[in-house]
């Protein structure tokens, strides 16, 4: 996405070094990350972000399912939720999204934000929207960013070889998405389980990493 490339460039620039024209540009490209929350009462809120073409239908359903639904912004495809003792956990929300995906016939892709005080909501949303644009969870994003800053020859060799092998990338992604469950991963790859086992063996021989646990998490975040 070209807009996101521009954002990444300007995020690293000291605002004092920008011309007036550049300041205006940055104001425009970051506008959709700002929230109008002045009319919200004091309290703690979180933001649920969504992608896809089914937001209006999803929005109407969430109004019924979420006990503390506050408001939604269709243009940004977000829902703002107030914190209470009845607020669903992240795991419960993703169970709901999985069920809705089946009912709607389209996968519900979402990012569940943290509950924060109203005065920090815009700031946190700006950070969380960057993470969601990278199609990551918070933990995946932090790990990936940390790995990009880490200088380690072995790590660099593994990353280079992974990025040069599309089939290995597909294998890592399938195993990660399936939580290392071989039966589920085989279905995602449309291969027999025995074929998958052979692929896993060759992968582990090549990289010296297992396709489970922390090794799998590491490999996924190198992609």
Check whether residue 182 and residue 214 sit in a common domain: yes
Q: Per residue in 113-141, pLDDT tens? A: 999 999 999 889 988 988 898 887 888 88
Identify whether the C-beta of residue 139 lies closer than 8 Å to the C-beta of residue 221.
no
Check whether residue 60 and residue 128 sit in a common domain: yes
Check whether residue 38 and residue 26 sit in a common domain: no
Check whether residue 171 and residue 185 sit in a common domain: yes
Identify whether the C-beta of residue 219 lies closer than 8 Å to the C-beta of residue 144.
no
CA distance 94 to 91: 5
pLDDT given at position 106: 83
Check whether residue 46 and residue 74 sit in a common domain: yes
pLDDT given at position 75: 84
Q: Per residue in 9-21, pLDDT tens? A: 655 566 666 676 5
Check whether residue 115 and residue 77 sit in a common domain: yes
**Number of structural domains found in the chain:** 3
Check whether residue 21 and residue 71 sit in a common domain: no
Element holding 89 (H helix, E strand) = none
Q: Which two tokens stand for residue 74?
A: 């269709």
Check whether residue 20 and residue 43 sit in a common domain: no
Identify whether the C-beta of residue 223 lies closer than 8 Å to the C-beta of residue 163.
yes
Check whether residue 129 and residue 193 sit in a common domain: no
Q: Looking at 116, 133, 150, which one is the last position of a domain?
A: 133
Check whether residue 46 and residue 102 sit in a common domain: yes
Q: Per residue in 45-96, pLDDT tens? A: 999 999 878 888 888 899 988 989 988 888 889 999 999 888 998 888 988 9
Q: Looking at 71, 103, 133, which one is the last position of a domain?
A: 133
CA nearest neighbour of 113 among 146, 92, 91, 138 = 138
Q: Looking at 133, 163, 194, which one is the last position of a domain?
A: 133
Check whether residue 25 and residue 62 sit in a common domain: no
Measured CA angle at 112 (ends 106, 116), to 5 deg: 155
Residue 88 is part of which domain span? 34-133
Instruction: Give residues with Cβ within 8 angstroms of 38, minimum separation 6.
Output: none
Which single residue is written with the structure tokens 């070889």? 161
With left for phi above 0 and alpha for psi between -120 and 50, is residue 173 left, alpha or beta? Answer: alpha
Determine if the pTM surpasses 0.75. no
Identify whether the C-beta of residue 110 lies closer than 8 Å to the C-beta of residue 48.
yes
Q: Per residue in 198-207, pLDDT tens? A: 999 999 988 8
Check whether residue 20 and residue 44 sit in a common domain: no
């Amino acid at each position: 996405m070209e807009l996101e490339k521009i954002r990444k460039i300007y995020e690293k620039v000291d605002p004092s070094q920008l011309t007036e024209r550049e300041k205006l540009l940055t104001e425009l490209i970051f506008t959709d990350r700002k929230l109008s929350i002045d009319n919200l009462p004091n309290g703690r809120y979180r933001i649920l972000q969504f992608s896809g073409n089914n937001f209006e239908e999803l929005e109407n359903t969430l109004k019924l399912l979420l006990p503390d639904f506050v408001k939604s912004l269709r243009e940004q495809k977000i829902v703002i939720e107030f914190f209470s003792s009845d607020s669903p956990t992240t795991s419960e929300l993703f169970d709901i999204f999985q069920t809705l995906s089946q009912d709607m016939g389209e996968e519900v892709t979402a990012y569940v934000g943290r509950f924060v005080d109203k005065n920090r909501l815009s700031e946190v949303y700006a950070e969380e929207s960057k993470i969601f644009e990278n199609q990551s969870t918070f933990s995946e994003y932090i790990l990936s960013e940390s790995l990009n800053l880490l200088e380690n020859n072995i790590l660099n060799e593994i990353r280079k070889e992974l990025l040069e092998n599309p089939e290995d990338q597909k294998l890592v992604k399938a195993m990660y998405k399936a939580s290392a469950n071989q039966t589920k991963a085989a279905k995602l790859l449309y291969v027999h389980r025995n074929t998958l086992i052979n692929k896993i063996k060759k992968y582990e021989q090549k990289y010296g990493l297992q396709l489970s646990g922390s090794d799998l998490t590491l490999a996924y975040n190198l992609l």
